[in-house]
C-alpha cells in the first residue's frame, strides 16, 4: 500500500506496510514531521492535514487526539495526528500534507 504526501502541486507516493503508523512512514521518508513525544499524545508536532476526500476513510479521532489538535498551530477541519493513524489496506493512497507545506 502507499500513502501520498502532497505539497502544492507535487505529490509524493511512499510505500507503507499495514500496521505502521503514518508518523513512522513520514519519518522514514524524511518528511519534516517531528513527532516529539513519539505517540504519547503530548506534543501535536505530528500534525498533518488530511485531504478532504480521504478524511472519512479514517477512524474518528479520540477525545485525547481532539484535545491535542486544539493546540496545534494551523489546525483545520481535516487535521489529524500522524502518530494516531495506523495504516490499513482500506487507507491505501491516503493523501496528507504537512501544515508547513503550501496548500
Ligand atoms: S507524536 Fe506527539 S502527539 Fe503525535
pLDDT digits (tens, 9 = 90+) for 59-90: 999 999 999 999 998 999 999 999 999 999 99
Domain boundaries, the chain: 2-102
What is the three-class DSSP state of 48?
A: strand
Contact of 31 with 47, CB cutoff 8 Å: no
Does CATH number 3.40.140.10 belong to domain 2-102? no
Q: What number of helices (H) and strands (E) belong to the chain?
A: 2, 5
Residues of the chain with pLDDT > 70, as a percent, come to 98
pTM score, whole prediction: 0.95
More confident residue, 64 or 103: 64
C-alpha grid cell for residue 49? Answer: 492535514
With a 6 Å cutoff on the Cβ, whether 22 touches ligand 1 is no
Place of cell 508536532: 45
Q: Which residues pair with 50 in a beta bridge?
A: 96
Mutate to test the pocket of ligand 1, among 24, 31, 44 (most ligand atoms within 8 A of CB): 44
Amino acid at each position: 500500500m502507499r500513502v501520498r504526501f502532497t505539497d502544492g502541486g507535487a505529490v509524493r507516493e511512499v510505500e507503507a506496510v499495514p500496521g505502521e503508523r503514518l508518523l513512522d512512514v513520514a519519518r522514514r521518508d524524511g518528511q519534516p514531521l517531528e513527532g516529539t513525544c513519539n505517540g504519547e499524545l503530548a506534543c501535536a508536532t505530528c500534525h498533518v492535514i488530511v485531504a478532504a476526500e480521504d478524511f472519512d476513510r479514517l477512524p474518528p479521532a479520540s477525545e485525547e487526539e481532539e484535545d491535542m489538535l486544539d493546540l496545534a498551530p494551523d489546525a483545520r477541519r481535516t487535521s489529524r495526528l500522524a502518530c494516531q493513524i495506523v495504516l490499513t489496506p482500506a487507507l491505501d493512497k491516503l493523501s496528507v500534507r504537512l501544515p508547513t507545506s503550501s496548500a
